[in-house]
Amino acid sequence: MPKYKDIDSVLVIGSGPIQIGQAAEFDYSGSQACKSLREEGVKTILVNSNPATIQTDLEIADKIYLEPLTPKIVAKIIERENPDALLPTMGGQTALNVATKLSEMGALKDIKVIGSSIETIQRVEDREMFANFMKKIGEPVPKYRAVNSVEEAFEAVEEIGFPVIVRPAYTLGGTGGGVAKNKKELEEVVSHGLKMSLVNQVLIDQSVIGWKEFEYEVMRDRKGTCITVCNMENVDPMGIHTGESIVVAPAQTLSDEDNQKLRSAALKIIDALGIEGGCNIQFALNPETGDYLVIEVNPRVSRSSALASKATGYPIAKIAAKIAIGLTLDEIQNDITKETPASFEPTLDYVVTKIPRWPFDKFREIDRRIGVQMKSTGEVMAIGRTIEESFHKAIRSLDIGKEGFYDTNVTEEDLKYPTDKRLFKIYSALKKGWSIEKIHKLTKIDKFFLYKILNIVKFEKKLTKKSIKDPKILRKAKRMGFSDKKLAEICNVSERYIRKLRRKYGIRPAYKIVDTCAAEFEAKTPYYYSTYDDVDEVEVSDKNKVLIIGSGPIRIGQGIEFDYCCVHAALALKNEGFETIMVNNNPETVSTDYDVSDKLYFEPLTAEDVLEIIEKEKPDGVIVQFGGQSSINLAEDLEKEGVKILGTPYESIDKVEDRERFTKVLKKLGIPHPPYGIARSFKEAKKIAKKIGYPVLVRPSYVLGGRAMEIVYNDKELKEYIEEAVKVSPRHPILIDKFLEDAIEVDVDALSDGEDVFIAGIMEHIEEAGVHSGDSACVIPPQTLSKETIETIEEYTRKLALELKVVGLINIQYAVKNENGKPKVYVLEANPRASRTVPFVSKAIGISLAKIAAMLMVGKKLSDFNLKNRKLKHVAVKESVFPFVKLPGADVRLGPEMKSTGETMGIDKNFGLAYYKSQLGADMKIPTSGNILISVKDSDKGKIKDIVKKAEKLGFNIIATKGTAEAIKDVVKNVKVINKVSEKSPNIKDALLNGEIDLVINTPHGKRSMDDGYIMRRMAVDLGIPYITTLAGARAALNAIEAVKQGKINVKSLNEYHKEPDPAVT
C-alpha cells in the first residue's frame, strides 16, 4: 500500500533535555524517524530544545526548530509551517503531553496525528480510561482506583487493601510514584504524585510486588498486521521500575505456553488500540499461578524500544515512522538482511543484558534504594552467548571501576530492600554460603538467575595461580565472560601474564554478527559482538580505517554531548573515504545505530576489549578525543601497546591532567593561574590553605569532573572535608586551589591543526565562579566581557593550543576577576579533547566543530575549511537540567561538583528572550508576576539591592526572611517579612504549601544540612515552584522577565539563523 496521499509534511516532536526517565533513546528514535520520513519524500520539520542531539543537526530534517517544547511554542511552529501531520510518538512522554495539550487548545485542527491518535494516547495515559479499556477487551489489570485527592486515595485502599502502588498519570520514569504500606506513606506519596501529574490524577494500584515482569515490543501497520519484535525479562521482580531493572533478552524463564499467552495479549492490545507503529507493553506474571496482569502500555517508542532495536538489529523507530505515513510491514525492507521484509519477526541466538547506571556517586547523601520511581541516568547493554558472559560484559561496561562481580558486606536487609549494588550483594551472599532458597525468598528474583550467579561463584573457587595455566580452565573462564584483569585479580598474577597465556594457547575472541534472524539469512550490516567461540564472522578489509571509541553509559559529567561528537566523527570520516569503526556499549544512543559507522562493535570500553578489536581490524589510527573521560582514560594503555592515537598526542593529555606539569606549561607561556598546593595530610592542607588564603577549592587529585570537590572557608570546614569526604594520604593527595570569589567564569572551545587555531566559541557563564561549568548556564556571545578581556582570552587560547600540540578540539576554562579595578584573566583548566559544550557552540554558530576536528586528525588543515568568526545577530543561552525531582532528599544547591543530567538551549534576538526560552526548555517556568520569596546568605545581603529593586519595578511583591528584609528595607517600599521554616507558623513552609509563592531566590552557604534553606529549596522542587540559588541567576531571570514583558515570544528555525553554509558539510 502506498503512503497516505494527504501527508506531504510532518512535524516531529522531540523529547527535550536528557533527564532521568527520558535519555538519549529519543535522540536515536527521532533521528531515525526523520531520516525514514525523508527517504519517502516527506517534508520533515523537527522541534526540540536540546542542542546536544543529532536530530537537531540541519541535515537531519528539512526544518529544525531549537525551541522550548511547550504547547504554546509548538502551536506557533504549527501556525508557521502548516504541516499535514504531527508525529508525537518519537519524543517520549514529553511529546505525548505536548500533543495532548495542543489538541485541547484546538491547535491540531485539520492536522492528522499519526503513530498514535490523541484518543489512543488518552486511553493509555489516563489511568482510569486505560483500566476500563483493558477490561473492555478482556485483558486483566491490577485492582485500581483513579483518584484526584488524598481523601479519595484513603477510600480506595479500603477496597484494595495495603500495600498499594501509586502511579501518577502523564509522567515519565515513574515520577512521583511510590509504594505505600500504611496511611502515613499513602498521604505522602499521593500528595506528591498529584502535583507531578499533568492532569492531577494518580492511580492507586493493587500491589503485585514480587511477581515477575516481562515486556513485549510490538509493531502494527494500518492493515492490522502485527508482529512482536522482542520480548524482554526483568531480572528484578515487580516493584522495581523497568528502567531501574536489570533486563535480559530474550526472556529466559518463560515457558512456551506463557510466552504464547503474553504474546497473544500484546498483539491483541496493540490491535485494539489501533496504533500504527511501535508499542511497548509491560506484564506482571504470577510465578505460582501463571496468572498475568497488564501493567502498562506505551503507545510510542520507548527506552525499551531502543534496547530491543539494539538487541535485535530491528530498527523499530525507522519502521514505525514509515508505518505512521501509511506503509505496511510487508513492503518495508529489513535493512540488516536486505532480503526479508519488516514483517519477519527477529530471532536471537545470543543473550543481551541491560544494566542501569545510577548517579549515587554524585548524590552521596540520598537513599540508594531503588523502586517504582526511576533514579538511573543511563544504561549499558552487553551481548554474550550465555547469561554468565553477558552479565560479566555488562558489569565492566558500567565504568564503575569493577571488572566483574566483587565481594561486599551483605545483610538480609540489603537483599530485601535492593539498591544499585544488588547484583554484588547477591554474589556476596552466595559466596558466604547463603542458600538459593533464602536469597530467592528475600529478593523474589527467579532462581534461574541466582543459579547463574552461583555458577560464577563456584567457578571462581577453581581459579588459582596453578589452575589458570590449564588451557581448558582458561578457555572456560573466557567463555563465562571473565576479563583478563579479573582473572589476574583472582589468581594473584598480573593482567599481562593472563594475556600472554591466552595468546600462547590461541584463546582469542571471535566476533559474531547481530543479524535479526539467527543466521537464517546473510546479514549485510556489520554489527558485531565478541564471544570466545571458534567461528569468527568478521570480514576485515584493507581500506584506510579509523576506530572511534565511544563514551559508554550516560552519567552525570559524561552525557549525550560526547556521543554527538562520536557520531559526527564517524559521519565526517566516512565522507572522507575512511572505513569507520565504532566501539560503544550504550543502547540508547545514535552512535550505536548500525548505519552511522561502517562497522559497529557492541563491547565494553576496557583496554582488553578495545585492544582485541584493534588487533582484529588493524586501523590506521584510533580516536579517543570524542568519548569523554572514558575514552581518554584508555589513551595511556593504548599508547603503551603501540596503538596510534589520532589527533592530540597522549603526552599533551597527560601534561594537562598532571597539575604540576600543567603549571610549568602555564609559567612558560606567562599565563596566570590561581595559586595552589598539593597536600598529603591535614597538617599540609592547613599550611597550604593559610599560605594561599581562604576560601579554597579542594578536591581529590585522582578524580575529574568535579567529583568530591568543595569550596571551604576555614580550617574547621577543611578538617571536616578531609575527615568525611576523602581519605587524604601520601598515595591519595588532595589539590587545594585558591577560590576566586566573585569572578566570572568563561568556557572556550577551539579547533587547532597544530599550526593554526580557530576560536569557535567564547561562553560567558551566568552563574558566578564556584558552580561547575557543566551546571552553569552560559551565553554566546559574551554579554559583559570587555573587548580587551576577550582579546586576552583569545591570545591565551592560541598559545595553549599550540604549546600542547593540539590537533582537533580543546576546551579551556577561565576565570575573570576584577583586581585593583582591572579585569585579570586566570586559566582554571584545559581539556585537549571534545567538551560537553561542543554541540551547543556548533548549533549557536552554525559550524559542526566535531566534524572538522575529526578531519584535522586525519591530516586536513584549518585553511581547508575557510573558517571565519561569524558575527552573530542572535544570542544563544545554554541552561542545565537537574534531576532533583527524581532524587528525594537531594539538595538543589549548586557547587563545584556537577549535578545536571542534560541541557537545553534558548536562541533569540537578545539575551533576555534567549534566557527565558532556555528556562522554559528546562521546565523552569519563570513567572512574570506574583510573589517572590527572597532569603540569602549573610555574605550576599549587601549585593541584592539591585535585584529586589528590579523585581519591585517589574510588579512583583517581595517576601523576605527577617535578615534579608532588614538588608533591603531602604530600597523596597513594601517588604512582607516571613518566618523561617524552623520558626513559628505561619512560616515559609505554610506559604509554599498554600501556593502563595511564585518564585524562590535562596543562596545557600556551606555544606548541606537539614537547615531552613535546604527544606525551603527541597519543598520548591517537590511542589514544582521555580527556584534560583545564585544572585547572577536571579539577575538573568529578571532580565528575561523584563524582555518578555516588553515583547512577545516568537519562533524561528535554525535554518533561518544559519543561512551561511556549514564548512564541515560538503
Report the binding-site residues for Mn(2+): 282, 296, 298, 813, 829, 831
Phi then psi for 927, rounded to 5 degrees?
A: -75, 155
Can you tell me the distance from the alpha carbon of 1065 to that of 865, in angstroms, rounded to the nearest whole number? 10
CB 14 within 8 A of CB 32: no
Neighbour-count burial for 962-982, b at 16+ CB within 10 Å, e otherwise: eebbebbeeebeebeebbbbe
Q: What are phi and psi of 358, to 5 degrees?
A: -105, 155
Among 442, 448, 444, smallest CA distance to 429 is for 442
Rounded to whole angstroms, the Cα distance separating 391 from 697 reads 40
Annotated binding site for ATP: 127, 167, 173-174, 206, 208, 213, 239-241, 282, 296, 699, 738, 740, 745, 770-773, 813, 829
What is the rounded distance in angstroms from the CA atom of residue 1036 to the CA atom of residue 922?
Answer: 15
Annotation: binding site: 127, 167, 173-174, 206, 208, 213, 239-241, 282, 296, 298, 699, 738, 740, 745, 770-773, 813, 829, 831
> 3-state DSSP call for residue 701?
coil
Binding site residues for Mg(2+), as ranges? 282, 296, 298, 813, 829, 831
What is the side-by-side strand order in the sheet with 599-602? 510-513, 527-531, 599-602, 579-584, 545-549, 621-623
- The sheet that has 63-66: what strands, in order across it? 63-66, 43-48, 9-13, 85-87, 112-113
Cell of 987: 512560616
Report the alpha-carbon distance of residue 591 to residue 52 in Å, rounded.
13
Q: Rounded CA gap, 350 and 807, in Å?
A: 41
CA distance 27 to 902: 13
Cα angle value 383/388/392 (rounded, 5°)? 65
* Contact in structure between 951 and 973 (CB atoms under 8 Å): no
d(CA 210, CA 285): 9
SS3 487: helix
Residue 714: partners with Cβ closer than 8 Å, 6 or more residues away: 694
How far, in Å, CA of 501 to CA of 507, rounded? 8
- The one-letter amino acid code at 843 reads K
* Among 506, 482, 505, CA closest to 495: 482
Dihedral sign, Cα of residue 209, residue 211, residue 216, residue 220: negative
Question: Cβ of 596: how many Cβ atoms within 10 Å?
Answer: 22
The H or E element spanning position 294 is strand 292-298
Task: Identify the DSSP state of 4.
Answer: P
Angle at alpha carbon of residue 165, lines to 160 and 167, rounded to 5°: 115
Q: Which amino acid is at 38?
A: R
Q: How far is CA 504 from CA 167, 471, 500, 1056, in A?
A: 57, 9, 6, 62
Backbone angles phi, psi at 849, to 5 degrees: -65, -40
